[in-house]
Amino acid sequence: MSNKTCCRGPGYATPLDAMRSGPREKLLYTVTVQPNLDEPHGDYLSTVDVDPESPTYCQIVHRTFTNRKGDELHHSGWNACSSCYYVDESSKTVPKRDRLVLPSLNSDFIYILDVVTDPRKPEIIKTIDGDVLKSHNVTAPHTTHCLANGNIMISVMGDAEGYAKGDFILFDKDFNCIGTWTKGDKKALCGYDFWYQPYFDVMVSSEWGAPNKWRRGWKTGDLEDMSQYGCRLNFYKWSTQTLYQTIDLGSDGITPLEIRFLHNPKKAEGFVGCALNAKVFYFAKKADSDEFEAKKVIDIPGKLVDTGSGVAEDMGGMISDIIISLDDRFLYVNCWRHGDLRQYDITDPENPKLTGQVFLGGAICSDLPNVIVKEDKELKERPPARYVKGRRLEGGPQMMQLSLDGKRLYVSSSLYSPWDKQFYPKMVSQGGHIVLINVDTVNGGMSLDEDFLVDFGNEPYGPSLPHEMRYPGGDCTSDIWLANDA
């Protein structure tokens, strides 16, 4: 990349610049799923007011409905972010962060929202039909990242028939479909999340599984065919768009979901949370080689639990999200089934140190009469249920979003509505929530903010389920930084 710039694009020059100079968040764009598939207004984007000086603090101030049944909005991303910050002097246009991209896991539709005309009231300005993806033999769009060249890339998890397929679909700045990204004959078996580091000419992706498997809920028998369920990390040459290395993480690494390089663009290392058995793997580039290696660095043991069937089974923690602070000091890990949220100091990334833990519900709370914990290698007693403003927190901690300064961590409760219905039916019937965790950024540690609750139980068209959250100006999981001398 040239050091000569004519102007600045969106975002921040460096992660530390964002952490030190970024404003406090005032709005939280929250993907919200309608679990009632007969409700015609469908899923929506909730605009949540998180400005403590505002009279509507902790309230949903606007809802942007898709007005389509069965989409299953899930993650979101931007048309431009900090990867577009440095604009080459030869460029005729300066990118603007003005479009939020909302892919749908179930319908394969993609919604493009204008968030600049009125940031408190985003508006859908373009809808990309699911048949566009199917015409390229891909489905189940997931993670959206903008690219420095102005294009937008979205990971996909299935082919047109719903079988597993790891690839990416590209759109230009006007959201015209360009086609799939991966070149060559070698393709990943499964897809899910991805992160790129052009300084090292690499992109890494993770794996969930085949849409025709996870769309119908979790079944242990699906693991009999590991070509249709994920346990691998896939490394691509960024410059040639080719898959060159796959690391099989084994049974500990089943369902490696959220994957992050460190924010420092000159560090070729990162973490991935493996959901089913609650392990976190660290991966890093080998010295004098393009190859990467991975090793397990966090091992959260399963619990032997009878949930009411009379048979005790191993219950994994279900790590469905991880997030790294912008200074690359803290790693946050959720355990959706066990009900706890953890903070690790990753100053020494190969040896994370547990520095904080809070319980926010989960499936083993002490007030659940039909649940019997037969064996727990970590806890001496079951955690109590958690209440905020008189409301019992149903479900467990799920998606997270960290403030730019690292002091506030927002946590939602919904994973994916078919799985919510399977594991936490009471949360589905009563609606999900967002809570706030206050973070000690000096010594480490976390505490629940007892005065903050966004309750999705009394929504206009029935209880709904909040998932991923974004700030209008970018955040720890939307923005990727490039080395300015790459």
* Interacting residues of 87 by C-beta distance below 8 A, sequence separation 6+: 5, 6, 7, 8, 9, 94, 95
In terms of phi and psi (left: phi > 0; alpha: psi -120 to 50; beta: otherwise), the region of 126 is beta
Give pLDDT, residue 14. 92
Mean pLDDT for 69-83 is 94
Give pLDDT, residue 87. 67
**pLDDT tens-digit series, residues 321-365:** 999 999 999 999 999 999 999 999 999 999 999 999 999 999 999
Give pLDDT, residue 1. 42
Give pLDDT, residue 90. 61
| pTM of the predicted protein model | 0.97
Fold of 15-470: Methylamine Dehydrogenase; Chain H (2.130.10)
Query: Whole-angstrom Cα distance, residue 45 to residue 31?
Result: 5
Confidence of residue 83 (pLDDT cuts 50, 70, 90): confident
What is the rounded average pLDDT for all residues in the chain? Answer: 95
- Write down the domain spans for the chain: 15-470
**pLDDT tens-digit series, residues 5-27:** 555 778 898 999 999 999 999 99
Q: Are 376 and 449 in contact (CB under 8 A)?
A: no
Residue 349 burial (C-beta neighbours within 10 Å; 0-12, 13-18, 19+) = buried
